[in-house]
Amino acid sequence: MSFADKYEMVCGVETHVEMATKTKIFCGCSTEFGGAQNTHVCPVCLGLPGVLPVLNKEVVNLAIKAGLALNCEIAQFSKFDRKNYFYPDLTKNYQTSQYDLPICKSGWLDITVNGTNKRIGITRAHMEEDAGKLVHSGETITTSNSSGVDYNRTGVPLLEIVSEPDMRSIDEVLVYLEQLVQIMDYAGISDCKLEQGSVRFDINVSLRLKGAEQFGTRTETKNLNSFSSVRRCLEYETERQAEALDDGEEIIQETRTWDEGRGMTLSLRSKEEAHDYRYFPEPDLMPLVIDRDWVERIRASMPELPAAKKARLQALGLSEYDAGVIIASKAMAAFFDQALARIDDAKLLANWVMGDLSGLLKTNGRSFEDSPVSPEQLAGMLALIKKGDISGKIGKTVLEEIYNTGKDPEMIIKEKGLVQISDEGELGKIVDSILAANEKSVADYQAGKESALGFLVGQVMKATKGQANPGLVNKLLRDKLAQ
């Protein structure tokens, strides 16, 4: 009996998102990524004796925004708590976080996996500060002669989003995470740069026999920072648990770590040695009272989120697949919307955005964020195609010219003489000469070989350097061949 026939996985995820504020959560230091070690620090984020935290209001704004994007209840009364634990990357040896009264709770996120819709519960989302980073002289803390601490990241605001254990397959987990990250990106909560660690995942997973009611014992694997790691980790961990269960072993509730190099999870600490964080209300910060006006102001400022955007694009005639591809990238979707304001043909636009322009950008290692072709230029070029001034084929040339020179499409067409030949008399002469020069093809066509026509069209296009109106060429050829 295979794994999937026997067991069902139960998974919930805690996602840490670095919020996109300019300054840290409790002081005015910069949150910018990079920078020489310990340059974005002050007495407050270093936790020096006597310092006090002052809450950055923008963090609260973003947390509320995230809560609204995830259909959460926004608490009217929220507070910060201290989570006490001891580690050299933690300046105060406690983390200021939220415990029993988080700012957001009881939300959800709808996902679609293989055409099936599913609602994943969001238990809560709370604000907290990030810790610093240990820098070892060697590979690990235990094998290094010395270790330094970089506190630049200390105090960077985090939103921890905790899901319900609602996911039952690795695909569901990945779709949930991808959509979650996309929402955070769209809502402007975070820059969502996974490669810079601005989103991290803790994966809770257990197995139970198919049809069983009770959850099995779970493990928590901490600090995964890519979708592929999540997939590999879940593949490994479910397999490990299944083997253990098959052998009649008990799963130990424990915290594990993912070893990317070895492709396996390793035990970090068990429940018995689990930390007692000794949470208590942060006495240096006042409780947070959030009035409804505040929430409504933020609700009114919410940008269009991916799901709504996708539905709108589908309503404009795009296929689900196309709409999905476009919204998958916030920059591409923004580009699309800006161009759409100038060209009333979503399908045509989608083809060019997803096809030629994407291809050009990809070849040159660029993205829609820094596209040399502006949405206005693309829309302008597409308008010329629709008007019949240029062919689609010429369009490709024009697009490349825009890309390389930054010039507007009209100017390129004028300069290069790329205007489409739609003059019947002029084209008729060219067609005649092509027919005269290709007697064999003419005979083939007349003998019923339809493909010969394509060859003749190609010859006309070649002779006009692609400027001939293809529809007209077709019509003229057919007319003349029928004579």
Partner 1 sequence: MTIFKSLEELHHMLVQKEISCVELTRAYLDYVDSADCWVKAFLTVTADSALTKATEIDKKITAGESLGPLEGLPMALKDNMCTEGIPTTCGSRILENFNPPYNATVTERLNAAGAVLVGKLNMDEFAMGSSTENSGYYPTANPWHLDRVPGGSSGGSAACVAAREVPFALGSDTGGSIRQPAAFCGVVGLKPTYGAVSRYGLVAFASSLDQIGPLTTNVKDNALVLNTIAGHDPKDSTSVPFVKPDYTQFLEKNVKGLKIGIPDEYFASGLNPDVAEVIQKAIRTFESLGAEVERCSLPHTEYAMPAYYIIAPAECSSNLARYDGVRYGYRAEADDMSEMFKKTREKGFGQEVKRRIMLGTYALSSGYYDAYYLKAQKVRTLIKQDFDRAFAKYDVLLSPTAPTTAYKIGEKSDPLAMYMGDVYTIPVNLAGLPAISVPAGFVDGMPVGMQLISKHFDEGTLYKAAYAFEQNTEYHLQMPALLKEVR
**Site for partner 1, rule CB under 8 A:** 43, 46-55, 82, 84, 86, 88, 91-94, 141, 149, 276, 278-280, 283-286
Beta strands in 86-165 (DSSP E): 94-97, 104-113, 116-129, 133-136, 147-150, 157-163
Between 210 and 278, whose beta carbon lies closer to partner 1? 278
Nearer to partner 1, 57 or 292 (CB): 57
Report CA-CA distances (Å) from 439 to 103, 121, 268, 462. Answer: 80, 71, 80, 17
Minimum distance, C-beta of residue 200 to partner 1, in the bound complex (Å): 24
CB of 85 to partner 1, least distance (A): 9
What whole-number distance in Å separates Cα of residue 216 and Cα of residue 209? 9
Question: Which C-beta is closer to partner 1: that of 151 or that of 258?
Answer: 151
CA distance 180 to 195: 16
CB 116 → partner 1: shortest distance, Å? 41
CB of 21 vs partner 1, minimal distance in Å: 17
Q: Taking a C-beta distance cutoff of 8 angstroms, is the pair 388, 468 a contact? A: no
CA 215, CA 206: separation in Å to the nearest integer? 7
Task: Please tell me the distance from the alpha carbon of residue 105 to that of residue 401, in angstroms, as a whole number.
Answer: 52
Q: Residue 285 or residue 305: which is nearer to partner 1 going by CB? A: 285
Report the nearest approach of partner 1 to the CB of residue 357 (Å). 49
Helix ranges restricted to H, 345-438:
346-352, 358-363, 375-387, 392-405, 409-416, 424-437
Residue 128 CB, shortest distance to partner 1, in Å, is: 15
Question: How far from each other are the two terminal CA atoms of the chain, in whole angstroms?
Answer: 71
Shortest spacing between CB 92 and partner 1, in angstroms: 5
- Hey, which bits of 42-103 come out as E strands? 73-74, 77-78, 81-84, 94-97
Q: How far is CA 181 from the centre of its chain?
A: 6
Closest CB to partner 1 among residues 97, 229: 97
CB of 135 to partner 1, least distance (A): 13
DSSP string, 219-285: EEEEEE-SHHHHHHHHHHHHHHHHHHHHTTPPPP-EEEEEETTTTEEEEEEEGGG------EE-TTS
Q: Which two structure tokens, joined as six digits, stand for 168?
A: 């039952």
Closer to partner 1 by CB, 116 or 142: give it: 142
Nearer to partner 1, 279 or 455 (CB): 279
Cβ closest to partner 1, residue 89 vs residue 164: 89
